[in-house]
Amino acid sequence: MTSARPAGLQLRAYLAAARAIPLVAPRLLRRRLDRGKELPGRWREKLGEATQPRPDGPLIWLHAVGLGETLALRGLIAAMADRSPETQFLVTSTTRGSAEVIAQNLPPRTRHQFLPLDAPGYLKRFLDHWRPALSIWAEQDLWPGAVVAAQRRGIPLALINARMNADAYARRSRWKGLYANLFARFALINAQDDATARHLQALGANGVRVTGSLKAAAPPLAADPARLAEAREALTGLHPVLLASSHHEDEFVTLSALRAAPVRPLLLIAPRDRHRGAEISARAAEHGLTATRRSAGQGPSGDVWIVDTFGEMGLWYRLCPSCLIGGTFGPTEGHNPWEPAALGSAILHGPRTANFAADFATLHEHGAAQPVQPEVLIATLSADHSAMAARAKALSDAAQGALAPLATDLLKLAALA
């Protein structure tokens, strides 16, 4: 158990302000529910009201903010579950999408709830119900009230898979007193890369270890067998089939390239925001291309098949030999390349990968990913990249087998090893 310094001025101010959250939270959550941003029947989890019973035995609580961060925890949970058969796991996150996708990819003895809003009453209700033996926070999303509430109950805290680039550090640097207070409460802090470690240390963290990205070690995304068979049949005879994954609104370079291709392959576009299907279809028409939408029950009968359904990326990475990683032609600066790597889909990308700089650097070092220029995008995607895909999968497999030390360290913190 790490000893924490007394709450400083910034942390005290935050905790005082957080007491006002219940004055507005129920009304705001109901508005989000009306707009489809909260799950009916589960939105009150954000008020600390559990919708599942606590299982018997010790329980480890892990938190990650969104979809990618939540999925990255699966390999670590599986590694801990193998070493501690009696331990149960609770994953919390904050976004509806993360809840819907993790439900299809839950590791052994794991359940999901939404993290309560950071008010004392909500947190008390949450911690009274779940009684975790360890609280694990992933990447860079720390909720001060929850961290303090756990530490005050004697629950050990760990920060893993931390990632903080220069921009994220600059935004947090004016709150250095707050972060120094929070980091002092953690018994273990692991960073993905050296730059993150330096930024954490500049914010007051001590004993930071660089252990790489958990995303590389996440198990393959699941795929429903019936849907996989249906999609495979729909794509039979339509080769080559290419995938633009996590597509953003500023990445219509894919449509321009497809229009100019002398021979057009079938292009699957999986939008990052599934509600963009109609927009993508309209833009395809502007480029002189025909498009169909899976969410509308349409099959791949045009130039572009917009696979705008949720939680089916495990299908498309299995069925497409090459994929173009979204966010790499615009300010998003990339998405997780390890999901296609784990399923044998070759990784190609645009010039902007700062959001996953260390991951792409590792892949490039091993000849397991390739940058692509817009003018040769379709030709490059259509080439045979099976050897490159095999190298990426080998890296992913090796990372999945290297989680033992971290899993053991975390179980020791929880007095379970």
What is residue 379's three-state secondary structure? helix
In the chain the first and final C-alpha atoms are separated, in Å, by: 15
How many angstroms separate the CA atoms of 334 and 332, rounded? 6
- Report the pLDDT value the prediction gives residue 59, as an integer from 0 to 100: 98
Using 50, 70 and 90 to split pLDDT, how confident is the model at 5?
low
Mind listing the pLDDT tens digit for each residue in 136-184?
999 988 999 999 999 999 999 999 999 998 889 999 999 999 999 999 9
- Report the pLDDT value the prediction gives residue 224, as an integer from 0 to 100: 92
- Report the pLDDT value the prediction gives residue 401, as an integer from 0 to 100: 82
152 burial (CB, 10 Å; 0-12 / 13-18 / 19+) is exposed
What is residue 306's three-state secondary structure? strand
Closest to 268 in 3D by CA, of 312, 222, 230 = 312
Closest to 42 in 3D by CA, of 103, 118, 85 = 103
Pairing of strands 304-306, 266-271: parallel
In the numeric block, which tokens belong to residue 298? 């349409």
Contact 130, 59 (CB under 8 A): yes
- Report the pLDDT value the prediction gives residue 67, as an integer from 0 to 100: 85
| Domains (range + CATH), the chain | 9-212 (3.40.50.11720), 225-399 (3.40.50.2000)
Mind listing the pLDDT tens digit for each residue in 347-369?
999 999 998 888 999 999 999 99
Interval 4-16 mean pLDDT? 84
User: Does position 333 have pLDDT exceeding 90, yes or no?
Assistant: yes
Calculate the average pLDDT of the chain. Answer: 94
Mind listing the pLDDT tens digit for each residue in 235-251?
998 878 999 999 999 88
How many angstroms separate the CA atoms of 242 and 348, rounded? 11
Q: Please name the residues in contact with 243: beta carbons below 8 A apart, sequence gap of 6 or more.
A: 267, 268, 270, 316, 317, 320, 322, 323, 324, 345
